[in-house]
Amino acid sequence: MTRRMTDDRLLDIIEIWGAEAHGWPEAERAAAEALLAEKPGRFAPALAAARELDLMLGALPEPDMPRALTDAIIAAAPKPARGLLPRWGGMKAPWVPASGFAAAAFGLFMGLTIAPVASADDEVNAEVQELVISALGFEPANYTLEEME
Amino acid sequence: MAFTSDLDQITRAAAGDAAAVRALVNRYSPGVLALATRMLGETAEAEDVTQETFIRAWKALPGWEPRAKFSTWLHRVALNLCYDRLRKRREVLPDELPDRADVALGPQDALDQAQRVKAVEAAIARLPERQSAALTLCALQGHSQAEAADIMEISVEALESLLARARRTLRGELLDGRKVS
- CB–CB contact B25 A74 (8 Å): yes
User: Does residue B69 register a pLDDT over 60?
Assistant: yes
Instruction: Return residues 50-109 of B near A (CB < 8 Å).
Output: 50-51, 54-55, 58, 61-62
Nearest CA distance, B53 vs chain A (angstrom): 9
Closest alpha carbon to B84 in B139, B36, B124, B31: B36
CA distances from B121 to A62, A63, B15, B141 (A): 11, 12, 40, 14
User: Does residue B101 register a pLDDT over 60?
Assistant: no
Residues in chain A: 149
B100 confidence band (pLDDT: 50, 70, 90):
very low
- The interface predicted TM-score (ipTM) is 0.82
**Radius of gyration over every alpha carbon of chain B, rounded to an integer in angstroms:** 18
- CB–CB contact A78 B55 (8 Å): no
Average pLDDT over residues B56-84: 91
B-chain residue closest to A1, CA distance: B156
pLDDT at B67: 76
- pLDDT tens-digit map of A66-83: 999 999 999 999 888 765
A4 confidence band (pLDDT: 50, 70, 90):
confident
User: Does residue B102 register a pLDDT over 80?
Assistant: no
Check if the beta carbon of residue B35 is closer than 8 Å to that of residue B82.
yes
What gap in Å lies between CA B1 and CA A11, rounded to an integer?
34
Check if the beta carbon of residue B116 is closer than 8 Å to that of residue B175.
no
Average pLDDT over residues B106-111: 52
Write the DSSP assignment of B37-103 as a string of letters: HHHH--HHHHHHHHHHHHHHHHHHGGG--TTS-HHHHHHHHHHHHHHHHHHHHHHH-TT-SPPGGGG
Check if the beta carbon of residue B132 is closer than 8 Å to that of residue B125.
yes
- CB–CB contact B51 A69 (8 Å): yes
Average pLDDT over residues B103-113: 55
Check if the beta carbon of residue A52 is closer than 8 Å to that of residue B176.
no
Task: Return the percentage of chain B with pLDDT > 90, whole number.
Answer: 64
SS3 B151: helix
Burial B70-109 (b: 16+ CB within 10 A, else e): bbbbbbbbbbbbbeebbeeeeeeeeeeeeeeeeebbeeee
Instruction: Return residues 140-169 of B near A (CB < 8 Å).
Output: 140, 142, 144-145, 156, 160, 163-164, 167-168
Angle at CA B138, nearest 5°, toward B160 and A36? 65
What gap in Å lies between CA B140 and CA A54, rounded to an integer?
9
pLDDT at B155: 97
Residues of A in contact with B18 (CB under 8 A): 74, 77
- pLDDT tens-digit map of A16-48: 999 999 999 999 999 999 999 999 999 999 999
pLDDT at A104: 53
Nearest CA distance, B97 vs chain A (angstrom): 22
Nearest CA distance, B5 vs chain A (angstrom): 19
Query: Helix B18-40 and helix B113-126: axis angle, to 10°?
Result: 90
Q: Which of A17, A66, A73 sits opposite B25 (nearest CB)?
A: A73
Q: Which of A60, A62, A80 sits opposite B121 (nearest CB)?
A: A60
Average pLDDT over residues A117-140: 49
- pLDDT tens-digit map of B111-147: 578 888 989 999 998 999 999 999 999 999 999 999 9
pLDDT at B125: 87
Lowest mean pLDDT, pick from A94-98, B153-157, B160-164: A94-98
pLDDT at B111: 57
* Other Cβ atoms within 10 Å of B23 Cβ, number: 17
- CB–CB contact B163 A16 (8 Å): yes
Residues in chain B: 181
**Radius of gyration over every alpha carbon of chain A, rounded to an integer in angstroms:** 49
User: Does residue A105 register a pLDDT over 70?
Assistant: no
What gap in Å lies between CA B172 and CA B104, rounded to an integer?
9
